[in-house]
Structure 1
Amino acid sequence: MRIDFYTHVHQCQRKQMFNLAMHAGEINYNEPEKLLPLAEGLAVFLRDIRSHADHEDIFIHPLLRRKMPGSARTLDNEHEELKKELSNLEENFAHIQLLTNQYPKRQEQGLEFYRALNRFIANYLCHIDKEEYVIQNLWEIAAAPELGGMMMAFQVYNNPEEGRKWLSNNLPGMNFDERVLMFKTVELMAPESCFLSMSKIAEEIVGDNAWQSVKQHCDKVIA
């Protein structure tokens, strides 16, 4: 099974963005009470999209930089620009919330926020479309244990119980070389805490002797 880092989460993001854009376009910015639900939706959106970008930077881009450095550089640069746009959106909306009821241009300021939000969405849609094609190329270049290793590292980082389940379901069916390559990839590219957690779980699953053999051979592999 191919490891797909993007499709499901990007589908959720598209739905979230479109709903937020419709909400931002429908409300009357002259009614402060109407801003509260939009503020809550924007806060959730900003939190989720920043968290997703951080996860990509930690668990996907290290492998991309090793296998496809040109594509990784492009995506890294786009991430930085998108982060700036998110900060601008946040500042723009915070300013609207501070405007008094007597300020004559609240609605116009809200319209500018709405347009800026949609400009961000347009740029972000192009970005995630590019990511989804990059991952297809990565499937052809990276070995399955390399991709699986970074996915399992993410699972252990994000939800330890889910990570344990992933390892329990997949590790027993992997041959020795696949196990070595997977753990070497995680050791090289994932946070050390993920490698240590995965190592502990793996030892519980395959036993001390089998795990020590994998660990020793990791030093001999160049991934």
Structure 2
Amino acid sequence: MLSPAPRFDIYAFIHKGLRAHLMHTLSTLGRCDWQDCAEARAALAELQGLLVFCRSHIAREDELVHPALEQRRPGATRYSSAAHRLHRQAMDELDSLAEQVIHLPMLRRGDLTHRLYRRVARFVAENFEHMEQEERDNNRLLWETHSDAELIALEQRIVASLSPDEMQHVLYWMLPALNPEERAGFLLELRAKVPAELFTATLDTLGPQLSPRHHARLDAALGLARTVEPADLPA
């Protein structure tokens, strides 16, 4: 007997990108030399980028995903909505801590930067747990109440609501976090929908983030010729 075809997972790709961003930012803060002004500014800028990403992500879920689910299963998003409120409070706290770090003299930052690091670590853990709940429980409810065609249309509405800057930020973190098959499938669809110059710019940004083997697999999937660089050749 054939297994049923897998259902469309509206959370899968974006959550891979969000997890990658969360882990990278936590590592960046953990190894930062806070007495180096440029490195400290870069670390805090990455944190701000993460918080922008997170705020945008939960706003789209609140504005588009949750109403679609509530319309067919009232009360279904009570837990997720409460978690989003807590995430917003946590992000406000992180904004405040980061602002305090900026205004402290370099030699007095130690205790506060460690506090910031630990609070970001807790924020990462909370988000990981929340995303697991969404992928487990919310997906089950979405699959019970919506067809795959409806879920794909919902995702398209989410994508259409993103500004160009938001989309660029999402793709920067999401595309390298996908496996080769997912990445190729996503980009094949994207190529059919966006202007050629935008697609080329996306590939140019993605290229340095991929290993030579993953880069070659993507080029093959997209039917692109690639110039072999000396660094790609075996020793």
TM-score bin (small chain): 0.5 to 0.7
Cα separation, 1, equivalents of 2:21 and 2:64: 23
2:36 equivalent in structure 1: 31
2:8 is the counterpart of 1:3: yes
Cα separation, 1, equivalents of 2:146 and 2:163: 25
Deviation, 1:114, is 0.2
What is the aligned residue count? 163
1:152 equivalent in structure 2: 156
Q: Which of 127, 131, 137 in structure 2 is aligned with 1:128?
A: 131
Structure 2 CA distance for partners of 1:102 and 1:121, relative to 1, 3 Å: closer
Once the two structures are superposed, the pairs formed by residues 93-172 of structure 1 within 5 Å of their partners are: 93-101=98-106, 103=108, 106-133=109-136, 134-158=138-162, 165=193
Deviation, 1:3, is 3.1
Q: Which of 80, 86, 90 in structure 1 is aligned with 2:91?
A: 86
Cα separation, 2, equivalents of 1:23 and 1:59: 32
Cα separation, 2, equivalents of 1:3 and 1:35: 41
Structure 2 SS opposite 1:2: coil
* Percent of paired sites with the same residue: 23
Structure 2 CA distance for partners of 1:63 and 1:34, relative to 1, 3 Å: same
1:19 equivalent in structure 2: 24
Cα separation, 1, equivalents of 2:131 and 2:38: 34
Conservation of the 8 A alpha-carbon contact between 2:65 and 2:154 = yes
Deviation, 1:52, is 0.9
Give the root-mean-square deviation of aligned CA atoms. Answer: 2.5
Runs of 4+ in 1 over 4 A off after TM superposition: none
Where does the alignment leave 5 or more consecutive residues of structure 1 unmatched? 167-223
2:60 is the counterpart of 1:46: no
2:63 equivalent in structure 1: 58
Structure 2 CA distance for partners of 1:145 and 1:27, relative to 1, 3 Å: closer
- Higher CA-based Rg: 1
1:71 equivalent in structure 2: 76
Conservation of the 8 A alpha-carbon contact between 1:28 and 1:107 = no
Structure 2 CA distance for partners of 1:148 and 1:19, relative to 1, 3 Å: closer
Conservation of the 8 A alpha-carbon contact between 2:10 and 2:152 = no
2:15 maps to a residue whose letter is H
TM-score (norm 2): 0.62
1:53 maps to a residue whose letter is I
Structure 2 CA distance for partners of 1:65 and 1:112, relative to 1, 3 Å: same
Structure 2 CA distance for partners of 1:59 and 1:3, relative to 1, 3 Å: farther
Cα separation, 1, equivalents of 2:31 and 2:112: 14
2:153 maps to a residue whose letter is G
Deviation, 1:143, is 3.1
Conservation of the 8 A alpha-carbon contact between 1:67 and 1:138 = no
